Chain A
Amino acid sequence: AQSVTQLGSHVSVSEGALVLLRCNYSSSVPPYLFWYVQYPNQGLQLLLKYTSAATLVKGINGFEAEFKKSETSFHLTKPSAHMSDAAEYFCAVTPGGDSSYKLIFGSGTRLLVRP
C-alpha cells in the first residue's frame, strides 16, 4: 500500500535560511505526489504537485520539490525562509488505479522560522 514518511515532526530555521522538508514515499506504481501547507485553524492549501511531468516542480510562495525515483523522495525546499512560512507542511500521495482520487498524507512537519 502507498504511504509517505515525513522525517522530522519539527524543523526550525532562521529567517533567510534554506528550508528543507523531507518526504519519502512508498508506491508500487508511479505516484502522484503533493505538498500541502496548513496554517493554524485552517484547511490545507496546495503548494505543488508532481504528476510525472518534470521532476523539478515549482510551486507557490517560492517553494519547489524534486521527484527522485531512485531515492523514492520528494523533498520540499525554499532558498530563503520568511516568517510567513511558519506553518505545518504535509506530503501526500495518491494510491493510483481505481483509488487515485484519494490522498494519503504523512504525519506532517511543523516549520518554525526564527527571526
Chain B
Amino acid sequence: DTGVSQDPRHKITKRGQNVTFRCDPISEHNRLYWYRQTLGQGPEFLTYFQNEAQLEKSRLLSDRFSAERPKGSFSTLEIQRTEQGDSAMYLCASSSDPNGYGYTFGSGTRLTVV
C-alpha cells in the first residue's frame, strides 16, 4: 500500500475558475477526511466520509465547496468560483478507526488563486 495519494500536488488557478482535487485513501480505510491548512496555521476540519456517506460538513465549507466519495473509494473536492481566500493546502486523510487516531495523511494539494 502506498498510503494516501493526492492529486495534483500543486494547482495555480485564476480567481473565478473551478478546481477539483482528488484523494485516493488507503484501500482498507472506510473513513476519509478533508482538512484545509492556511499559511502559519494548523489544519482545520472540512468534511468527513464514512464509506460513501458524507457525515459532517464544517461551516468552513461554503456553498462553493462540494465533496464526494462515490462508491466509498476515492474522493473529490471541488471549489467553484475560486477566491483568493481559498488559497491553502488541502489535506486528505483516511483511517479505519473511529476515534481520531490511526489517521494517515496525504501530502496535500497546494492551491494558489491568483
Chain A interface residues toward B at CB < 8 A: 9, 32, 34, 36, 41-46, 49, 51, 90, 92, 94, 99-108
**What size tier do the contact residues of chain B reach?**
20 to 34
Contacts of B101 in A (CB 8 A): 32, 34, 46, 49, 51
Contacts of A108 in B (CB 8 A): 40-42
- B72 in the interface (beta carbon within 8 A): no
- B4 in the interface (beta carbon within 8 A): yes
The reply to whether B42 and A102 form a contact with Cβ atoms under 8 Å apart is: no
What is the bound-complex CA distance between A102 and B56, given in angstroms? 10
What is the bound-complex CA distance between A45 and B40, given in angstroms? 17
- B98 in the interface (beta carbon within 8 A): yes
Distance to closest chain A CB from B102 (angstroms): 9
What is the bound-complex CA distance between A32 and B45, given in angstroms? 16
Chain B interface residues toward A at CB < 8 A: 4, 9, 31, 33, 35, 40-45, 48, 56, 91, 93, 95, 98-101, 103, 105-108, 110
Distance to closest chain B CB from A93 (angstroms): 8
13 more contacts with CB within 8 A, not counting A44-B103, A106-B42, A108-B41, are: A34-B100, A36-B105, A41-B108, A46-B103, A92-B42, A101-B31, A102-B33, A103-B43, A103-B103, A105-B42, A105-B44, A107-B41, A108-B40
Nearest CB in chain B to that of A34: its residue: B101
Contacts of A92 in B (CB 8 A): 42, 100
19 contacts between A and B (CB under 8 A): A32-B99, A34-B101, A41-B107, A41-B110, A42-B107, A43-B93, A44-B93, A44-B103, A90-B42, A92-B42, A94-B100, A101-B48, A101-B95, A101-B99, A103-B35, A103-B43, A103-B45, A105-B43, A106-B42
Distance to closest chain B CB from A59 (angstroms): 12
Interface centre among A43, A100, A106 (most CB of B within 10 A): A43
The reply to whether A102 and B43 form a contact with Cβ atoms under 8 Å apart is: no
Distance to closest chain A CB from B105 (angstroms): 4
Interface centre among B42, B105, B106 (most CB of A within 10 A): B42
